[in-house]
Structure 1
């Protein structure tokens, strides 16, 4: 809509027989263009007064109609002295987006997701349609663009927010990827739609008309049950959940849901006693400095990223294809960003990417007047690197802000980035006069990012800050030139397992993750020879997620004779085994201090070891004591010959006490991954379609040669044309309606297939396929990657473990 086509002064009096280029050379003076080379003037023309040739400013202009029939600048002559109207429109919309980010974000939390979202969609439709009829009055048009910017800020983020709150946790990553890919797909379709419509009015009319279909969706989209519960509106949330269950063919008892919602409301009341505020980010010196640095770094990324998209009209070649390539090049960004951030850390990766961007922009500024292809290649590379840097930067922000202000901090950083982006349109507009100017500015901004990025602490492998105090002290003690914080090569946490029973007397498995670390479990080495005080010091760095306070309750624990023997021995200073105490007793004492309980150990019933079920249905062993209510826990031993690979104790030991070692799901990295989203049938379909297009482009011109002129350049190499429509610049499209229609439909088909491919490929790269951990006990025992601690497959303990319908003991 705001693209400025090539233009020149309209000089009346041109004879019909005179070529336009000859007339322009005769009537227009020359000037130095933005690339430093001479060109015909766009704003002045020659006039003759009594035989004297003088220059004067233009009153009317002629425009190149090759790509567009109508644009706002060409229809209202926003060129030369009024060319900054284009930049004013972009900046005004950006100002509206900043205001909308602040105030509509508050409105969403206050009035609800659904009502606020559809209200903004309605406002967007109204202001979009109204603005189509007032561009002649620039003041009113800018006011409407400001209102459009306010509504657009919420329209872009609300669908993802609503979808995420309606989905279960196992589907959130998928939903996040799909909503993000929707924006990318729309961004890639925009140049094709603009090319087909060729009119700013039609494109401007299509956008609000398409949003009318969103308003129709109001009846079907439910309000977020999470938001309703946060506002205490449990009955409305209950009805929505029941409707969802009914639609999915499920049945949930209403009374059970009410009890669950009451519990949620009670927790909300407890957690909302004290709310953190945005200004608390500046209450601590280190946190305030870190917030400012994050804001500058994020602003630098979005400043350059937005500048590249707007600068596409200043680049050489076809601007439709340039814009499409800038959108499509972000295909592998998620995978590359995740790999670099996990392999090299956040801090130095961002620094290197800023430096690399500065080098690329400096190269572009040098070759802007001599080599168009170097500039295009540099721009594409810089866009790809900036997309990676933005992804890693967002991750770094999330990890550095404390939990109560994590979302608020990210919103504040985004607002700062929007404020700086106001100047981008003017820099791009100035680039129409001096082509190297935007690239020089981008180089300087990249160098600023290179300097400030190392000042932030590294977060790879570190525990996230939970409070303002944690965030303020985070990173203290890290050396500036350190690369990645050292982490233990051991990746397998320990989960303690206790055999117990449910209220109905059925054997179940109860777990306690002793070394969980706020969702990032890690191994803590415990010296079993050390005294209890040393172990308490170790426990200061272990804050289990799943342990409870027993308030001094005495736990009766049945153990087999072998476990009793191991509890009563220890290794003395001379290297001989002696009685009284062993490593299992040390671990029990650690649990005792942390969980506030006392314990009583007694030999299992009948001396049956872990447990034996006889033919008459009776049990003996530790499982018998659990089943018959004589003990809360029955200790089960397991033998792991390769334990030294899992946990490094100070001396080798082959028996585990109530431990179960598992591995994290590992991402599958393989060269085959880019081909996974397509089946072999779809690949064959795509290849056969390309062959068909090449054949048609070879045969059809021969049939139409009598009716239309076909340039040899276009059809000299049909294979190159098919590839060039995606990769090459300045592909000449035929003027014949039949050929043009055929090529357009093929391009649409290729774009749809490519978009479908990307929608599956990007989630697989950003969230790699993993070796999924076992979900059932049978899968666990059949897996060679996991070690399970039981005596033998036919034993009673095996049956007890297998009876658990929800084997949480293998979930980290």
Structure 2
């Protein structure tokens, strides 16, 4: 024992423990506690490898590259709908004249920013064909426009200054003047498909498996992109964007979910941050591609055709073992798990085989599902504290997601070069992710979330104080706001997951994310206001961000607290909130947690902690030392009864959960991860 304690690298001999527990399991065949308990894959991962070679190949070879098509297809539309700086009414009868002469003759001038410029949407209502045929004018080059001529709207199309933007749907489909809102409608159409796609592919994900769902989603994305490239009118193009929108963000969330399900809990933060980093890197790459390719049709091909190679993942992408176990497909699940153990250089424990085989035999005999508490959306609003927290979480989510995407859309409109501005708007996200990852584990979740949203909103609002010619200063403030909103965007998801009780976590996150997704349909129309006033959208988004940040201050801190398991615990968690709580960050624990690969957590329900259970909970051998004082992780429900009264622990509160920035996706009651409308 002393050798084990003195060694820093030797690990607990889990195989010996498993064999002992296997013998105990065989000696207690009458005990039904372990038999009735569902197998938890998270218990097995420390034995066969939490983040070994298999998971690294999966994450870096499949999950992270899957982020690139999502970013490409979500933002390439901004550059397909470029509007030239200058355009004017087309007059076919005057096309033989030099450009300046026909503009002088056919286009009236109007005052714009204290300067006379040619009108973009009006022309003189003169019948040039009749005028030329009548012989009244011998030489048009000597003719001067008459101020008494009537003014009419352009009816025969437009001519465009193509020195900078020479190909876009705006030019091909004449989306200017009365139709200049059409590109905004197309952007809203893209975002309309997102919630629908998450629901549809979520159903397919749960019923047909991750692999089929992913490749169906990828095929839908590529079909919509191909339809985009072949569109000959606006409404066909807009319809194709709805099809593309169906796959965003599902096209990268499905492999992301597979990766999260196969890595240990302590590595899910890393996987999530790396996913955000690759997603941002894809947007940075898109800015380079759009700079090099200005033809919108070819741009559509370039940002979609390379991803046909992703169908090669059919030969290497595994099905989710968690989903296979849920479906009772034991042999397939075991094959994947054994391959994972082999690649990671680990030995697959026999005790797992016994438990899974016993579980499958039991399921075949019973042929009925376990009874699960029937909870729904109304349970989030049934009690006052849970109702208030649900409203506040949803408001913060709505503000955060809406403003973040709005700033992403608005980047090309600022600065002197839209490609550089778009590139910088993506670059500033990378340091914000790293800083956010650190601060949310030291300061907690609430203050970093609220401060980043409030300060980001302030940076947007104060742009109104700058003069119109302060282009660079406006861009700098925009980039500061974008960096802060990116940090808060990374916090809101895990923070909401920690606030919602386990019993309704999936429902709560799903509801908040869907309502937040509605803002994505509205935000393109906010950025459209920038055509008249460049700073107006920034001011609007700034106030929305500040409002969302202030609502977050009312939420309770979750760092170093045990997460609520039931709705009753969720109601008690943060119930005694006081105004002074806004002024404090998360309290540091008295003793820092040990950094083993897997935390051996106490079993709350005493009746279930029998010698016959085959538990795959690994213990760090260094814990044999003298016990250290424990961190107080009690929820208000545990302490509300006062001292001297033993708190009641329910069977549903089986395990304590100590979070370390674990950024999960929503789950069902059996632990299966689901899609969420979260870009």
Partner of 2:392: 293
1:33-48 matches, within 5 Å, as 40-46=118-124
Look up the match of 1:391: 490
Q: Between Structure 1 and Structure 2, which shows a larger proportion of helix residues?
A: 2
Which structure 2 segments of 5+ residues have no match?
1-79, 132-144, 595-599, 602-619, 635-640, 664-679
Matches within 5 A, 1:375-454: 375-454=474-553
Partners of 1:336 and 1:82 lie apart in 2 by: 43
Distance in 1, matches of 2:347 and 2:372, equals 35
- Give the superposition deviation at 1:66: 4.0
Match of 2:110 in 1: 30
RMSD of the TM alignment (CA)?
4.2
Match of 1:132 among 210, 213, 229: 229
Partner secondary structure for residue 429 of structure 2: coil
1:357 Cα deviation after fit: 2.8
Look up the SS of the partner of 1:9 in the other structure: strand
Distance 1:266 1:348, change over 3 A: farther
**1-structure distance, mates of 2:353, 2:632:** 40
Contact 2:400/2:485 (8 A) holds in 1: yes
In the other structure, the counterpart of 1:8 is 87
In structure 2, what is the Cα distance between the partners aligned to 1:42 and 1:312? 25
Deviation at 1:400, TM superposition (A): 0.8
The equivalent of 1:323 in structure 2 is 422
Q: CA deviation at 1:379?
A: 0.9
| Corresponding position: 1:228 with 2:307 | no
- Which of the numbers 233, 251, 261 marks the counterpart of 2:356? 261
Kindly provide the CA deviation profile for residues 502-523 of structure 1, in whole angstroms up to 9, marking residues without a partner as x.
xxxxxx9796999999xxx506
Of the candidates 544, 566, 587, which is equivalent to residue 467 of structure 1?
566
- The answer to whether the 8 Å contact 2:86/2:161 transfers is yes
* Structure 1 counterpart SS, 2:159: strand
Partner residue in 1 for 2:36 = none
- Aligned runs of 1:517-532 on 2, under 5 Å? 522=631
Shift of 1:46: 4.7
For the pair 1:52 / 2:152, whether they are aligned, the reply is no
CA contact (8 A) 2:442 2:586 kept: no
2:245 corresponds in structure 1 to 149
Give the conservation status (yes or no) of the 8 Å contact 2:560–2:633.
no
The residue that corresponds to 1:334 in the other structure is 433
Structure 1 counterpart of 2:197: 100
In 2 relative to 1, CA 264–384 (structure 1 residues): closer, same or farther, beyond 3 Å? Answer: farther
Shift of 1:27: 3.7
Secondary structure at 2:152 match in 1: strand
Q: Which residue of 2 aligns with 1:207?
A: 303
Deviations, residues 363-418 of structure 1 (Å, cap 9, x unaligned): 22333623111211111111011112222322321221111322332222111111
Change (3 A) 1:106 1:282: farther
Distance 1:370 1:274 in 2: 61
1:192 deviates by 0.8
Q: What pairs up with 1:285-684 in 2 under 5 angstroms? A: 285-367=384-466, 369-482=468-581, 483-484=583-584, 487=587, 490-492=590-592, 522=631, 537=644, 540=647
Give, in whole Å, the separation in 1 of the partners of 2:398 and 2:201: 21
Pairwise CA distance, 1:219: 2.3
Q: By how many angstroms is 1:222 displaced?
A: 1.4
Alpha-carbon shift at residue 77 of structure 1 (Å): 1.1
1:231, CA displacement in angstroms?
1.6
Question: CA–CA distance in 2 between the matches of 1:366 and 1:25?
Answer: 41
Deviation at 1:47, TM superposition (A): 6.1
Q: Structure 2 vs 1, CA of residues 257 and 342 (structure 1 numbering), >3 Å: closer, same or farther?
A: closer
Give the 3 Å change call, closer, same or farther, for CA 316–14 of structure 1 in structure 2.
farther
Check whether the contact 1:9–1:28 (CA below 8 A) recurs between aligned residues. Answer: no
Paired residues of 1:114 and 1:221 also in contact (CA < 8 A): yes
Secondary structure of 1:152's aligned partner: coil
Aligned twin of 1:613: none
> Are residue 186 (structure 1) and residue 282 (structure 2) matched?
yes
The answer to whether structure 1 residue 111 and structure 2 residue 218 are counterparts is no
- Aligned to 1:229, the other structure's residue is in SS state helix
2: distance between equivalents of 1:524 and 1:200? 56
Report deviation, 1:344: 4.1
Residue 261 of structure 2, aligned match among 142, 154, 165: 165
Contact kept in structure 2, 1:305 and 1:386, CA below 8 Å = yes
CA-CA distance at 1:273 after TM superposition: 3.3
Deviations 1:186-219 (A, max 9, x none): 1110011112121111111123322211122212
After TM superposition, the structure 1 stretch with the greater mean CA deviation from structure 2, 337-346 or 297-306, is 337-346
Shift of 1:288: 2.1
- Cα distance change of structure 1 residues 370 and 69 upon mapping to structure 2, 3 Å threshold: closer
| Distance (Å, rounded) in 1 between the aligned partners of 2:355 and 2:181 | 58
- CA distance in 1: counterparts of 2:577 and 2:527, whole angstroms: 40
Give the TM-score, by structure 1 length: 0.58
Cα 1:516/1:213, change in 2 over 3 Å: farther
> Aligned to 2:169, which of 72, 76, 82?
72
Aligned counterpart, 1:713: none
2:210·2:254 contact (CA, 8 Å) conserved in 1?
yes
User: What's the offset of the Cα at 1:150?
Assistant: 1.3
Residues 448-507 of structure 1, C-alpha deviations (whole Å, 9 max, x = no match):
2244223322323332211111111211222112223774762157999xxxxxxxxxxx
TM-score by length of 2: 0.68
User: 1:81 is matched with which residue?
Assistant: 178
Question: Using a 3 Å threshold, how does the CA distance of structure 1 residues 169 and 38 change in structure 2: closer, same or farther?
Answer: farther
Q: Secondary structure at the match of 2:397?
A: helix
Higher RCO, 1 vs 2 (CA within 8 Å, ≥6 residues apart): 2
**More off after superposition, 203-212 vs 383-392:** 203-212
- What are the superposed Cα offsets for residues 605-643 of structure 1, whole Å, 9 maximum, x if unpaired? xxxxxxxxxxxxxxxxxxxxxxxxxxxxxxxxxxxxxxx
| Residues 1:481 and 1:42: Cα distance change in structure 2 (over 3 Å) | farther
Conserved? CA contact 1:299–1:418, under 8 Å: yes
Shift in Å at residue 248 of structure 1? Answer: 5.9
